[in-house]
A and B are shown apart, each in its own frame.
Chain A
């Protein structure tokens, strides 16, 4: 079952990369357990991030990305305060009927 542009769920519950079939985790627990995580300054996201975050806030703000260890495709992106954990997760508990 395709989960999104980059991920597929196998019948055994393993989540794999849709582009290179590399195993990334399991649908219950942590689907991206084996993925590579990197953190960079938020303005590395490109010219769309106009002014530096430090102009507006005293909190540290960074660009966090998650990559497939097999083909380095980008699996998740967020710009968030780096003094807090990433709150973006998901878990699937059953197959869809369709």
Chain B
């Protein structure tokens, strides 16, 4: 049925409020606060000491979560967030992990303050759980956040929060990636904030309600304890900090950290020229068998010391599972603000958000209403939002002689999802998301190439699991994992290369595995270039049915190409749920980063080096870079000069001059 907004869902469609408004709406709770006078009297010494300690605590929360969790996504791929927020839910400090996730936690805390202050109330030892992306705290239902009020002298002093991706919380398809879904009812039902821990004890009734929906409840239970443990660490450390310096002083530092971040971002914006930058981000397909292309439009206006993000003109919300809520839209903005504008500014989003205005029409693909499908929001419309924000911010920074060094062209256009499910080699049911595409290519910079398989810009400390960890944990065997030639966007500075993995089911008692594939960027690349630079290559996933791997293994050979593998090639559409049979091979190739500048201006020596290291093919060197090589692999200067003249003329349809006379 068409998407018709559900009556009664409005209450959950949260728009973040200012601290003053939240304070007023949270009238059932006593909130600790300080005034400007308390902030003014802070001496530089105390400020720095406490600031340092707060950052250390956020780091410890992340470390703790990583060591306690059972999800490869968390332990080996660092896809999680840790945040400390003030009493009104403004983020004071976020850890260096998934900044998309951390960017939306404030909404969940503010919603909770406004809706739970009387009932269920806030008491020492309480923690809340939420995975409702309309409320906030995550971008899709797999992002489950656990957050806790820090109670001091009967008042809510602050909040601590951790969030990470949970591999399965139900819905039609394994991994909760319902590729055939048309609205949210095909997916995991969102849970608005509920009190999961009361006075230090897990509420088993709430826990059961939460776990019952999952295909892997024990793993989800282990991770729930990891999140509680990480909050415990932060609560203990913050309590000690208050005992030592006093609540007033610690709070004044928290407020000043946000003020400081705001002031520094404003100063940086002030130093840039006023202007407007418009861009677009495309996504091909919103669900299985959908062949349309969708757009998110952005006009970013910089005036004085503030930035306005206006998404007017973005496509209407669409049947499928690739829309995102307002939390997703903000989760698309903040990672770029943090990594490209605030590389040298403390990460206190509560202050940074004050410099930003957002204009967006509800009911569009990156600000959808309930019940639009959002199962893959984080890597669909939220990610596409991030791409267009990245493009516009890069254009703005490029104008400044110093700040331009902070820009990256768009990094890895989106996530290349592969969910595997079935029986593992020990006979236990499993579901997992293969996170190899975490090793995306980073965008090129104004003075150097993008980092090859360098990661994603929304997760500064992303990571991929070793092949052996995946093979140990899941019934699979890799034929290869490698960097892919020509996947980086060509340019004067080349975008970082993406990579590919190719694997077969291995050692499952039932032979094959169930496979869910979800990845756009196949009809057109999503990691765009800057200043004439080319986009990175497209995403490319191929399933080979009835391949001859067993035969090759028997002959003592490991295939290195899709051709060698044999069998029937199925170039997979964006969204598909299927079986990977015992004789089948899956090849998944994710995107690189966009290029910077005209590739004909690239130093031929660098092109020759790239060909030598298999980063660029000889044909791309010739066709795109106009570089020809000598037999020893070095650049042929004369031939290159001629070839480049020829390409320039062909670009505009001019006749090629006779160069033989040179």
Whether A and B touch directly in their complex, counting CB atoms under 8 A apart, is answered as: yes
A residues touching B (Cβ–Cβ < 8 Å)? 1-7, 36, 38, 42, 45-51, 53, 55-59, 61, 65-67, 69, 71-81, 84, 87-98
The answer to whether A80 touches B532, judged by C-beta atoms less than 8 angstroms apart, is no
Complex Cα spacing A61 to B293, Å = 10
Choose, from B144-152, B369-377, B461-469, B615-623, the stretch at the interface: B615-623
**Residue contact B285 to A57, C-beta cutoff 8 Å:** yes
Beta-carbon contacts of B276-319 to A below 8 Å, as 1s and 0s? 11111010110000011101010000010000000001000000
B395 sits at the interface (CB 8 A):
yes
B399 within 8 A of partner (CB): yes
Alpha-carbon distance between A91 and B282 when the two chains are bound, in angstroms: 22
List A contacts of B199 (CB < 8 A). none
- Nearest first, the 4 A-B pairs at minimum CB distance are A48-B537, A50-B540, A56-B523, A87-B280
Chain A nearest CB from B364 CB (Å) reads 15
CB atoms of B401 and A98 under 8 A apart: yes
- What is the minimal beta-carbon distance from A61 to any residue of chain B, in angstroms? 5
* Main SS class of interface, B: loop
B137 at the interface (CB under 8 A from A): no
- Residues of A near B293 (CB, < 8 A) are 57, 59, 61, 81
Does residue B583 face the partner (Cβ distance < 8 Å to A)? no
Contacts of B328 in A (CB 8 A): none
Identify A96's interface contact among B271, B295, B528, CB under 8 A: B271
B129 lies within 8 A of chain A by Cβ:
no
Say yes or no: A50-B278 contact (C-beta < 8 A), given A4-B398, A95-B273: no
B571 A48 Cβ-Cβ under 8 A: no
Whether A2 pairs with B401 at a CB distance below 8 angstroms is: yes
Q: Does B440 contact A (CB under 8 A)?
A: no
Chain B, interface size category, equals 35 or more
- For the complex, give the distance between the alpha carbons of A55 and B211 in Å: 40
- Contact check, B399 vs A92: say whether CB atoms are below 8 A apart: yes
Residue B181 at the A interface, CB < 8 A?
Answer: no
> Contacts of B490 on A, CB cut-off 8 Å?
46, 48
Contact A96 B273 (CB under 8 A): yes
Give the distance in Å from the alpha carbon of A36 to the alpha carbon of B532 in the complex.
Answer: 13
- The answer to whether A72 and B284 have CB atoms under 8 Å apart is no
**5 new A-B contacts at CB < 8 Å, known A73-B532, A80-B282, A88-B279:** A38-B653, A57-B292, A65-B532, A87-B297, A91-B275
Output the nearest chain B residue to A49 by Cβ-Cβ distance: B538
Q: Do the beta carbons of A88 and B537 come within 8 Å of each other?
A: no
Within 8 A of A (CB), among B387-404: 391, 395, 398-402
CB-contact partner of A6 in B276, B313, B531, B624, under 8 A: B531
Residues of chain A lying within 8 A (CB to CB) of residue B574: 56
Determine the chain B residues whose CB is within 8 A of the CB of A49 once the complex forms: 525, 537-538
- Report which of A58, A74, A79, A87 forms a contact with B278, defined as CB distance below 8 A: A87
Closest-CB distance, A81 to chain B (whole angstroms) = 5
Residue from B276, B282, B598, B623 within 8 A of A5 (CB atoms) = B598
The residues of B that contact A76 with a CB separation of less than 8 Å are 531-532
Q: How far is the CA of A47 from the CA of B537 in the complex (A)?
A: 8
Residues of A within 8 A of B623 (CB): 46
Cβ-based interface call for B431 (8 A): no
Q: Which residue of B lies closest to A84 (CB)?
A: B295
8 A/B residue pairs, CB under 8 Å, sorted by A: A47-B486, A56-B285, A61-B293, A71-B648, A72-B648, A77-B534, A79-B525, A97-B270
